[in-house]
Structure 1
Amino acid sequence: MSHNTAEKLVKMANQIGAFFAAQRHSDAVAGTAEHLKKFWDPRMRAGIIAHVEHGGEGLDTVPLQAVQKLAGK
C-alpha cells in the first residue's frame, strides 16, 4: 500500500472515530469497528489493518482500537 493511500485511510478512520467519540469509549470503538466493517471495501479494511500491523502511525486511539478489533487482536 502506498504511503498516500495509508494517509487517506488514516484520515478517514480518524474522522469516523471522531464521530463516535462522544459515546462511552467501548461504544465508540465498537461503533467505529462496525462502520468500517459495514461500509468500507474489503481492500480498504485490509489496507488499514496492514497499516496498524506496521505501527498504525497517525491513528487516534478509538480508530486504532477499532481496527485492532477488526483484525481480531
Structure 2
Amino acid sequence: MDTQNLIDMANRIGDFFDSMPDREEAITGVADHIRRFWEPRMRRALLAALDAPQAGGIEMSAIVKEALVKNRERLTPAEPSIA
C-alpha cells in the first residue's frame, strides 16, 4: 500500500473540512469520512504513518493529524477473528 498516496488523499480530505468555521466539527468530519469510506487496511496504514513518519515524504496536514489523534480508537479497525 502506497503510504504517501494515502497521506495525500487524507490531506485533500483535510483541505475540504479545514474551511469549516467550527474546528471541532471539521476534525470530526475528517475522521468520519476516513472511518466510513476507507477500508481497514488503508486506515491501519495511515495510523502507522502517523506513528512513524517517513523522512522526505508528504507530511500530514495539521487537521489530519489532529483528527487521527483525537479519533484513533474509532478509526482503528477491529482485528479479524480467527475461527
Aligned Cα RMSD in Å? 1.6
Between the aligned residues of both structures, percent identity stands at 32
Displacement of 1:19 in angstroms is 0.6
Query: Counting helix residues as a fraction of each chain, which structure ranks higher?
Result: 1
Partner of 1:46: 44
The one-letter code sitting in structure 2 at the alignment partner of 1:31 is G
Aligned pair count reads 69
Cα deviations by residue, 1:15-53 (Å, 9 ceiling, x for unpaired): 000010111221111000000000001000000000001
> 1:6, 1:48 within 8 Å by CA — same for their partners in 2?
yes
Matching of residue 30 in structure 1 with residue 28 in structure 2: yes
Segment drifting more, 36-45 vs 47-56:
47-56
Displacement of 1:55 in angstroms is 3.5
Query: Which moved further from structure 2: 8-17 or 57-66?
Result: 57-66
How many Å apart are 1:68 and its aligned residue?
Answer: 1.6
Indicate the residue corresponding to 1:12 in structure 2.
9
Alpha-carbon distance in structure 2 between the residues aligned to 1:27 and 1:19:
12
- 4+ residue runs of structure 1 moved beyond 2 angstroms? none
Q: 1:61 maps to what in 2?
A: 62
